[in-house]
């Protein structure tokens, strides 16, 4: 269960969002919508703990959040399997046997990360989420550079494996994933330009 | 943490430039010195401790900016920050990986290069010992510097300016230990002080590095 109360976040000292409230029950997803620059990425990074919130609280089980962005963290000199194995080891998890099939990576298992196409890299980055076994996922545009088929693969995994296990996902996306999930439009939460105070924020 | 260490070592081997470059640079710098100061063996053997230590500093510096920059660019650093590994541990592992790929090869190669500089035979044990004790501090201090400059484009030069002054104590005591060894004096004091610097930097700098990384990841 994820509860966000009166949440405000800033980017580079400039407040972007304020007064965000939402709850996501176990086994559900939430889709964040909003025009470019509204602060979807900043919100997700703040929720995941990569940057401090300027106000408000976020509650979810300790050490259960994971963040995924445009950058997949793929090492070009490691193979697909080694990349996944590394993240599994870091999280103290086992590599699920079917993870390569789920994301259509079986044929690529011994290819070096550097030789993958953008879409294949993306699939590998998403497969990481299936490996680390975290309960609350904060996904920033997970479907960038994926083709229609791969988007379906990902949506299937999310629905049938991740959410079906009672886990949670908060997803910022511009496309329709085909999930039956509530949407939250962030436009009404846009922060007033000077709500956050002085210009020192960026240095603190 | 072991997984991270193994990954970094594997990357250093596969991507090249890990083990080889720093060592080759060390070799070139040391070989250039006799060309510069002339073949006077007495002079060379007197300046050898200093040359070997300065060359090690520069060689260690060479690969510092890669410690975090690559992980930052491909996003792994942000993913590591949200993983169960504490960033302090990440910092320590990164320093250890840097030492294994740079400091250790330098230490092992140094005796051969001491020969090129006609270092007195009595000094060799202290050359090895001082590098063995001192180079981990170079890696840890360098890791801290790398964390400071991680988000910057062309941070390499700034990194050198930040890190080299911090290397001064290690350099002084390292070269001093070899010099004393060469002259038959007791180098224990210098070695102990250097060990203190190394132990101190491993005790304190992982925390500083982690908090700097947290700020740079915002």
Q: What is the pTM of this model?
A: 0.87
CB pairs under 8 A between A and B: 68
Chain B CB within 8 Å of residue A69 CB:
yes
Task: Verify whether the Cβ–Cβ distance A72 to B80 is below 8 Å.
Answer: no
**Range with the largest mean pLDDT of A195-199, B40-44, B51-55:** B51-55
A204: pLDDT strictly greater than 80: no
Torsion of CA A49, A53, A57, A62, to 10 degrees: 10
**Mean pLDDT of all residues in A21-25:** 87
Chain B 72-91, CB below 8 Å of chain A: which residues?
73-76, 78-85
CB-based contacts of A82: which residues, under 8 Å, 6+ apart?
A75, B7, B10
Please indicate, yes or no, if residue A28 is contained in any of the structural domains.
yes
A17: pLDDT strictly greater than 60: yes
Closest C-alpha among B73, B81, B58, B63 to residue B143: B63
What single-letter DSSP state applies at residue A192?
A: P
- Best residue of A16, A51, A75 to probe chain B, by most B CBs closer than 10 Å: A75
Tell me what percent of the residues of chain B surpass a pLDDT of 90: 54
Which ranges constitute the DSSP H helices of A114-177?
Answer: 118-132, 148-157
A48: pLDDT strictly greater than 50: yes
Please indicate, yes or no, if residue A166 is contained in any of the structural domains.
yes
Chain A CB within 8 Å of residue B3 CB:
yes
C-alpha distances (whole Å) from A109 to each of A73, A102, A103, A145, B98 are 17, 13, 11, 20, 29
Structure tokens at A27: 């086994």
Higher pLDDT, A13 or A172: A172
- Best residue of A77, A93, A95, A122 to probe chain B, by most B CBs closer than 10 Å: A77
What's A104's domain CATH number? 3.40.50.300
Chain A CB within 8 Å of residue B7 CB:
yes
Higher pLDDT, A62 or A170: A170
A chain contacts of residue B78, beta-carbon cutoff 8 Å: 50, 67, 69, 71, 73
Please indicate, yes or no, if residue A199 is contained in any of the structural domains.
no
The Cα B115–Cα B201 span in angstroms is 31
Task: Verify whether the Cβ–Cβ distance B218 to A66 is below 8 Å.
Answer: no
What single-letter DSSP state applies at residue A50?
A: S
Domain tally for chain A? 1
Structure tokens at B171: 């350099």
Please indicate, yes or no, if residue A201 is contained in any of the structural domains.
no
Which pLDDT band, with edges at 50, 70 and 90, does B18 fall under? low
B40: pLDDT strictly greater than 80: yes
Mean pLDDT across chain A, nearest whole number?
A: 84
Q: What is the pLDDT of residues B66-100, one digit of tens each?
A: 888 888 888 888 888 888 888 999 999 999 999 99
The Cα A160–Cα A132 span in angstroms is 17
Closest C-alpha among B19, B27, B4 to residue B76: B4
B11: pLDDT strictly greater than 90: no
The whole-number pLDDT of residue A104 equals: 85
The whole-number pLDDT of residue A196 equals: 47
Domain span at residue A18?
A: 2-193
| ipTM metric | 0.82
Write the residue in B11, B78, B82 that is nearest to A77 by C-beta: B11
Chain B CB within 8 Å of residue A49 CB:
yes
Domain borders along chain B are 2-217
Task: Verify whether the Cβ–Cβ distance B218 to A71 is below 8 Å.
Answer: no
Torsion of CA B217, B99, B158, B214, to 10 degrees: 10
């Amino acid at each position: 269960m994820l509860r966000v109360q009166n949440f405000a976040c800033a980017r580079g000292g400039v407040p972007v969002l304020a007064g965000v409230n939402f709850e996501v029950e176990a086994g559900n997803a939430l889709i964040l919508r909003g025009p470019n620059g509204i602060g979807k990425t900043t919100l997700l990074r703040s929720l995941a703990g990569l940057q401090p919130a300027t106000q408000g609280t976020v509650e979810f089980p300790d050490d259960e959040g994971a963040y995924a962005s445009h950058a997949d963290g793929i090492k070009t000199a490691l193979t697909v399997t080694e990349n996944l194995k590394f993240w599994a080891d870091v999280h103290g998890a086992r590599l699920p046997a079917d993870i390569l099939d789920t994301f259509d990576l079986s044929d690529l298992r011994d290819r070096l990360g550097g030789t993958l196409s953008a879409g294949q890299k993306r699939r590998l980055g998403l497969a990481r989420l299936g490996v680390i076994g975290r309960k609350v996922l904060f996904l920033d545009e997970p479907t960038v550079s994926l083709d229609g088929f791969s988007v379906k693969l990902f949506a299937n995994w999310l629905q049938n494996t991740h959410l079906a296990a009672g886990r949670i996902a908060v997803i910022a996306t511009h496309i329709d994933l085909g999930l039956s999930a509530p949407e939250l439009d962030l436009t009404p939460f846009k922060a007033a330009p000077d709500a956050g105070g002085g210009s020192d924020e960026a240095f603190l | 943490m072991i997984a991270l260490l193994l990954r970094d070592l594997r990357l250093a081997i596969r991507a090249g430039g890990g083990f080889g470059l720093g060592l080759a640079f060390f070799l070139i710098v040391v070989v250039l010195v006799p060309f510069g100061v002339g073949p006077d063996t007495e002079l060379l053997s007197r300046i050898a401790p200093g040359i070997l230590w300065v060359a090690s500093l520069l060689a260690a510096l060479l690969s510092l900016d890669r410690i975090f920059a690559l992980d930052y660019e491909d996003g792994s650093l942000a993913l590591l920050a949200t993983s169960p590994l504490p960033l302090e541990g990440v910092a320590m592992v990164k320093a250890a990986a840097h030492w294994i790929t740079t400091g250790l090869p330098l230490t092992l190669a140094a005796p051969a290069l001491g020969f090129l500089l006609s270092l007195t035979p009595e000094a060799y044990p202290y050359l090895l010992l001082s590098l063995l004790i001192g180079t981990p501090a170079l890696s840890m201090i360098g890791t801290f510097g790398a964390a400071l400059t991680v988000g910057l484009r062309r941070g390499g030069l700034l990194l050198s300016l930040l890190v080299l002054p911090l290397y001064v104590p290690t350099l002084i005591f390292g070269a001093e230990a070899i010099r004393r060894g060469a002259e038959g004096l007791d180098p224990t004091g210098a070695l102990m002080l250097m060990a203190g610097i190394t132990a101190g930097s491993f005790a304190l700098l992982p925390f500083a590095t982690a908090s700097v990384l947290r700020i740079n990841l915002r």
